[in-house]
Amino acid sequence: MPHRDEEIALLSDELEMLMQERQFLLRVVGASAALIASLDSKHLPVGAIEAADMVATTINSLSEETLQDALSAVHAEIEENSAAA
């Protein structure tokens, strides 16, 4: 049984590490979504518009639940008309 207890402890540690990584990634995504939503593309250089579009496309491919988790992680809210744009 000690070997099984070691495996359980290792799996528990790995799960904890993955959950911490998820929280970090949610904060990155939430901050990125808030930034993209606040940009005015008329005032950005072409390269920045292309990069913002790539980030926005990636964020838009997330599930609604994951996006809400990400926004909650950074205490951000995006207005409906901004999110749809």
pLDDT at residue number 2 = 79
Owning domain of residue 16? 2-84
Share of the chain above pLDDT 90, in %: 84
Region of 44 on the Ramachandran plot (φ > 0 left; ψ -120 to 50 alpha; else beta): beta
pLDDT at residue number 80 = 58
- The low-confidence residues of the chain, meaning pLDDT below 70, are 1, 79-85
Q: What angle do CA 46, 48, 54 make, to 5 degrees?
A: 105
* Stated pTM of the model: 0.78
What total of structural domains would you count in the chain? Answer: 1
From the CB of residue 30, how many other CB atoms can be counted at a distance below 10 Å? 22
pLDDT at residue number 84 = 42
